[in-house]
Amino acid sequence: MKIAILDDTYGVVRTLPSASLMDGHELSIWQDHTKDVDVLAQRLADTEVLMLLRERTPIPRALLQRLPRLRLITLNGVTPHIDLLACTELGVAVSTHSYVSTATAELTWALMLMSLRRLPREMDSLKQGHWQCAGMGQGLRGKNLGIWGYGQIGQQVAQFGRVFGMQVGVFSREAGLAKARADGFATFGDKAALLAHSDVLSLHVRLAPQTQGCLTYADLCSMKPGSLLVNTSRARLIEDGALVRALAQGRPAMAAIDVFEEEPMRDTDHPLLHMDNVICTPHLGYVELNQYDGMYRDQFERFLAFIDGRPRHIANPEVLTRLRAPA
């Protein structure tokens, strides 16, 4: 079958151990990123199976209508960027499955350590011939770690906090709060209590209409003096423009950011890139070799099950009675 894989930025998919699962199929792999419907329609004109890197590329009806051979879309994660109704109407199955990420939790922890110990500034100053001049750093032991959202990644970060001797507190939906209590962590009934608790606040909330902008400018300004905000989840959880304004006021004192409103973010004038109290990375949370191999292995296995007549994790199951016939 003709399979297209989008957004292989590092050009690693063909080198993954799991790639051997696709022997005998025709792969077209794109390293650059585009949301242009005309470009995508041209690239994917003969595609029968489309494999996506999470939510990076939107798949609207206008594109789907121009892909007459498409039968299956696979991805890991949620599907707000895919027009599921159009997929069903056109006979395209969408298979999605959440893949447990350890890489994002590890990066979250790295960003905390780098921020509090001022590592990027010390590294830059050392290259310029200076010695210990970025200001005294801080450790994590004994500090209060606030976890907003207690899903798979939030749970891992909370356990890291326990190992590092931090006082962990969780704010989440009721199911998450119940799990956090069962795991032996303190819980908070509202975000104000979490913010008042947190020396370090880490966001692990899924972006949805009800969570967009849930952390406001007023919330940020209520954080502790000297506090650190870490966001490896989604940029739009924070009210538009609020983080830059709040950081300029010193609340929070620092931020470590792995996510941006528009990605890829190539604006070298973005204000966060020019603030001494901010560390920015280009959405590296899940970008790690073993993570990639696991994510694509999961997609490859679901594709093989699909063509074997055993579709799995179908987000639009009603399509299974009206699938497009093979080309």
Residues labelled catalytic:
234, 263, 283
State whether the Cα torsion 49-27-100-34 is positive or negative.
negative
- Helix ranges (H only) for the chain are 37-43, 61-64, 84-90, 103-116, 119-127, 152-163, 174-182, 191-197, 217-221, 242-248, 289-307
First vs last C-alpha separation in the chain = 9
C-alpha radius of gyration, the chain, whole number: 22
The three-point CA angle 35-38-42 to 5° equals 110
Sheet of 2-5, strand order: 26-29, 2-5, 49-51, 72-75, 93-96
**In whole angstroms, what is the distance from residue 217 CA to residue 299 CA?**
39
Cα–Cα distance list, 164 to 106, 161, 167, 183, 196 (Å) = 13, 5, 9, 16, 21
How many CB atoms neighbour CB 143 within 10 A?
20
- Which has the closest alpha carbon to 298: 101, 152, 148? 101
* Beta carbons of 168 and 161 less than 8 angstroms apart: yes
How many CB atoms neighbour CB 26 within 10 A?
12
**In whole angstroms, what is the distance from residue 194 CA to residue 136 CA?**
26
**In whole angstroms, what is the distance from residue 43 CA to residue 49 CA?**
13
How many CB atoms neighbour CB 16 within 10 A?
20
